[in-house]
Amino acid sequence: MTTYTLHVPDEVDPAEPEALDRAKLVPDAFVWPAFWFTALWFFWHRLWLAGLVVLAAEVVVWAAGLALGLSPAAGFVIALLLSWLIGLEASSLRRWTYARTGRPIRDAVTASDAKEAEVKFVARWLREEGARLGSAPARPATPANARAESPALGLFPEAQSHR
């Protein structure tokens, strides 16, 4: 399961129907295209500052390898490790860029793929909108033996009531 974050512009009114059309969905996972294409991936996604930083880092690593007289095999390993780091951090850099340009994180869900994440985001968005308008869906009834407040932090707080 992957965690997805939803980025919506600040100026978007949640009541308008097209609000989610301008939203961006970012998975928190390793980004293989960013690993293979590094700076080009950032430029493709219009992440100009992050792309320039990645490109500058690649040039600095390449120049340092030449200045130190590293063998081609060592240079390849270092370039591979830098690409691996870029693949790991691409989603974080994308979220940072969206937050910097007025698209903060509005929500996060865990889903198996992007389609499921979109369904969950839309369901939450509509539920919150319904609650704001006063037509919130009814809450499910709680069982008679459920405790009103559970101080337990574990995964199975109901197991404590049977002691």
Quick: pLDDT tens for 61-92: 999 999 999 999 999 999 999 999 999 999 99
CA proximity to 120, closest of 106, 133, 109, 131: 109
Longest dimension (CA), the chain: 74
Instruction: Report the chain's mean pLDDT, rounded to a whole number.
Output: 84
pLDDT (average), residues 22-26: 90
Please give the model's pTM, rounded to 2 decimal places: 0.72
* Domain boundary assignment for the chain: 2-133
pLDDT (average), residues 112-123: 92
Residue indicated by tokens 């340009």: 101
Residue 132 or 38, more confident: 38
pLDDT (average), residues 20-29: 90
pLDDT (average), residues 48-59: 96
Residue 47 in tokens: 């992440």
pLDDT the model gives residue 18: 76
Residue 122 has pLDDT above 80, yes or no: yes
pLDDT band at 17 (very low <50, low <70, confident <90, very high): low
Residue 77 in tokens: 């390993």
Residue 33 has pLDDT above 90, yes or no: yes
Residue 59 has pLDDT above 80, yes or no: yes
Residue 120 has pLDDT above 50, yes or no: yes
Residue indicated by tokens 């390793």: 30
Q: Is 128 within 8 Å of 14 (Cβ atoms)? A: yes
pLDDT the model gives residue 124: 87
pLDDT the model gives residue 142: 47
Residue 34 has pLDDT above 90, yes or no: yes
Task: Work out the angle at residue 130's Cα, subtended by the Cα atoms of residues 126 and 136, and round it to the nearest 5 degrees.
Answer: 120
